[in-house]
């Protein structure tokens, strides 16, 4: 299966701009399906961006974040060609990781 | 005597009915229709180039256009596109693929759909052709409104990006009638709110309906299927028609029923010459 993570990072002077899109249902646990059954909560709890052995962005998420979340941020440092590692874990213990090069 | 008159009158009425019906279909000039349709929109939005109408609400003002540029850099339909490519190339149980059902292996053909099938005497849309392909190969058909169908059409549209819509109306009264029926459906008011498709998408594109900016009817199908943020997912042309009908508090008809097929035929034909831009992203 293809990765659930799409990421693009571009170094621009002394900062690096990062955009990421993650495929995840982000079910809140408050929604019912067509049969009237509650869809159990299923959401990302932690999202981490790591560059050169350092966490540059850590998000503790809950049920309020929408489906297929999109993240955009910038951090100081980061050079062209550096690795940027993105990983998430959800409340069911599932996770995914992707390493991208900073362009 | 009286019965004889009545029969004669009925016969006469039937004859006139039949002849006006035939005359209506004969007098339809789809090419002139399309030209007038496009002129209406280019007159209404003189700053827009014809090909920019395919970006729907994102073409309607500068602020929206900026949002569109940002969104296209990282489009939300990306996952569907990947899924569509995988589904398209994966063989059926009998070893054949979608490529066997379509001209040019299904690549770069979106702009030719829907077409009028003279054997069947009806309009055939891309979604319909995909399901017929599945059934011919012993696979269960997809739902017309859900993700599997949307991913496949997304991939097929993506391979056709930039190609101008090239819908043909053959010299067949049934084809002209299908075009005319589609037009009639488009302009007929229905539902509790008494809206026609045209009330929003011809009379009021660029205006707001609640928080949304209405898309112009010109080029509206070029961007299909779409990732609609409001839906939190992908939707097909069928899904768009069905939800438009229910939003005017009308009762939607079955996806891919004759009326919707004719409507798609009409709407696609009047956008002839505008490039395919699907899959699209919409607010």
Contact B130, B157 (CB under 8 A): no
- Indicate yes or no: CB of A23 within 8 angstroms of CB of B79: yes
- Of the two residues B25 and B103, the one the predictor is more confident about is B103
pLDDT of residue B16: 45
In a domain, B8, yes or no: no
Residue B63 has φ and ψ, to the nearest 5°, of -60, -45
Token pair of B101 as six digits: 């059902």
Nearest CB neighbour to B74, from listed A21, A66, A67: A21
Cα torsion for A100, A4, B76, A92, to the nearest 10°?
-130
pLDDT of residue B2: 55
In a domain, B80, yes or no: yes
Which of B213, B99, B234, B78 is closest to B158 using CA atoms?
B78
- Indicate yes or no: CB of A2 within 8 angstroms of CB of B86: yes
Provide the CATH number for the domain around residue B151: 1.10.760.10
Range B160-194 burial, b when 16+ CB lie within 10 A, else e: beebebebebeeeebbbbbbbbbbebbeeeebeee
Can you list the domains of chain A with their CATH numbers? 5-101 (2.60.40.10)
Paired sense of beta strands B280-282 and B226-228, if any? parallel
d(CA B156, CA B222): 12
- Indicate yes or no: CB of A19 within 8 angstroms of CB of B232: no
pLDDT of residue B90: 94
In chain B, the percentage of residues whose pLDDT exceeds 70 is: 90
Which residues of chain B have a CB within 8 Å of the CB of A2? 79, 82-83, 86
Cα of B131 to nearest chain A Cα, Å: 24
| Residue-range definition of the domain harbouring residue B157 | 28-282
| Residue contacts between A and B (CB atoms, under 8 Å) | 24
- Indicate yes or no: CB of B79 within 8 angstroms of CB of A68: yes
In a domain, B13, yes or no: no
Token pair of B140 as six digits: 């269960």
Q: pLDDT tier at B3 (50, 70, 90 boundaries)? A: low
pLDDT of residue B8: 52
pLDDT of residue B18: 46
Q: pLDDT tier at B101 (50, 70, 90 boundaries)? A: very high
pLDDT of residue B229: 87
> Helices (DSSP H) in B117-172: which residue ranges?
126-136, 147-158
Mean pLDDT of B152-171: 96
| Segment A16-51, tens digit of pLDDT | 999 999 999 999 999 999 899 999 999 999 999 999
d(CA B111, CA B273): 9
Which residues of chain B have a CB within 8 Å of the CB of A3? none
- Touching check for B79 and chain A: CB below 8 Å? yes
User: What's the number of domains chain B is made of?
Assistant: 1
pLDDT of residue B279: 95
In a domain, B15, yes or no: no
In a domain, B9, yes or no: no
In this prediction the pTM is 0.84
Which residues of chain A have a CB within 8 Å of the CB of B79? 2, 6, 21, 23, 68
- Indicate yes or no: CB of A67 within 8 angstroms of CB of B232: yes
CA-based end-to-end distance of chain B: 68
| Segment B33-65, tens digit of pLDDT | 999 999 999 999 999 999 999 999 999 988 888
- Touching check for B72 and chain A: CB below 8 Å? no
pLDDT of residue B232: 84
- Touching check for A6 and chain B: CB below 8 Å? yes
d(CA B280, CA B228): 8
| Segment B107-124, tens digit of pLDDT | 999 999 999 999 999 999
- Indicate yes or no: CB of A68 within 8 angstroms of CB of B86: no
- Of the two residues A87 and B9, the one the predictor is more confident about is A87
Cα of A93 to nearest chain B Cα, Å: 22
d(CA B195, CA B29): 26
Q: pLDDT tier at B80 (50, 70, 90 boundaries)? A: very high
pLDDT of residue B74: 84
Q: pLDDT tier at B11 (50, 70, 90 boundaries)? A: low
- DSSP string of chain A? ---SEEEEEEEETTEEEEEEEE----B-S--B-TTSPBPPPB-EEEEEEEETTEEEEEEE--TTSPSS-EEEEEEE---TT-EEEEEEEETTS-EEEEEEE--
B244 an active-site residue?
yes
d(CA B137, CA B186): 34
Residues of A (60-79) whose Cβ lies below 8 Å from B: 66-68, 70
- Indicate yes or no: CB of B74 within 8 angstroms of CB of A8: yes
In a domain, B238, yes or no: yes
Contact B5, B157 (CB under 8 A): no
d(CA A7, CA B73): 11
Mutate to test the interface with B, among A1, A2, A65 (most CBs of B within 10 A): A2
In a domain, B14, yes or no: no
Residue of B nearest to A27 (CA): B232
Nearest CB neighbour to A19, from listed B74, B79, B82: B74
- Touching check for A8 and chain B: CB below 8 Å? yes
Q: pLDDT tier at A3 (50, 70, 90 boundaries)? A: confident
d(CA B278, CA B80): 12
- Touching check for A19 and chain B: CB below 8 Å? yes
pLDDT of residue B5: 52
State chain B's mean pLDDT as an integer. Answer: 90
Kindly tell me if the per-residue pLDDT of A76 is higher than 60.
yes
Count of Cβ atoms closer than 10 Å to residue A100 Cβ: 18
In a domain, B120, yes or no: yes
Number of alpha helices (DSSP H) and beta strands (DSSP E) in chain B: 10, 7
Kindly tell me if the per-residue pLDDT of B22 is higher than 50.
no
């Amino acid at each position: 299966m293809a990765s659930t993570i799409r990421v693009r990072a571009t170094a621009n002077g002394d900062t690096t701009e990062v955009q990421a899109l993650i495929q995840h249902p982000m079910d809140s646990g408050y929604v019912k399906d067509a049969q009237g059954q509650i869809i159990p909560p299923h959401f990302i709890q932690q999202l981490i961006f790591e560059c050169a052995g350092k966490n540059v962005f850590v998000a503790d998420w809950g049920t309020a974040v929408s489906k297929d979340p999109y993240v955009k941020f910038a951090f100081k440092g980061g050079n062209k060609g550096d690795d940027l590692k993105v990983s998430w874990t959800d409340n069911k213990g599932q996770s995914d990781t992707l390493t991208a090069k900073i362009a | 005597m009286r019965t004889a008159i009545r029969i004669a009158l009925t016969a006469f009425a039937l004859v006139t009915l039949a002849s006006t019906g035939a005359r209506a279909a004969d007098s339809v000039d789809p090419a002139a229709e399309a030209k007038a349709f496009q002129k209406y929109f280019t007159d209404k939005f003189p700053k827009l180039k014809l090909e920019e109408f395919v970006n729907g609400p994102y073409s309607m003002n500068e602020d929206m256009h900026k949002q569109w540029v940002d969104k296209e850099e990282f489009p939300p339909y990306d996952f569907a596109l990947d899924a569509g490519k995988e589904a398209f190339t994966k063989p059926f149980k009998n070893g054949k693929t979608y490529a066997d059902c379509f001209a040019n292996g299904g690549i770069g053909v979106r702009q030719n759909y829907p077409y009028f099938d003279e054997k069947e005497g009806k309009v055939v849309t891309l979604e319909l052709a995909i399901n017929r392909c599945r059934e011919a190969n012993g696979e269960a058909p997809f739902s017309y409104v859900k993700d599997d169908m949307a991913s496949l059409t997304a991939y097929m549209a993506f391979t056709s990006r930039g190609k101008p819509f090239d819908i043909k109306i053959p010299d067949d009264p049934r084809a002209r009638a299908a075009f005319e029926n589609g037009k009639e459906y488009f302009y007929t008011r229905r539902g509790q709110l008494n809206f026609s498709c045209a009330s929003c998408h011809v009379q009021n594109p660029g205006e707001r309906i609640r928080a949304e900016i209405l898309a112009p009817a010109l080029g509206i199908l070029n961007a299909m299927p779409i990732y609609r943020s409001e839906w939190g997912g992908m939707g097909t042309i069928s899904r768009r028609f069905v939800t438009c009908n229910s939003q005017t508090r009308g009762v939607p008809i079955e996806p891919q029923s004759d009326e919707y097929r004719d409507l798609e035929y009409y709407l696609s034909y009047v956008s002839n010459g505008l490039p395919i831009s699907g899959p699209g992203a919409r607010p």
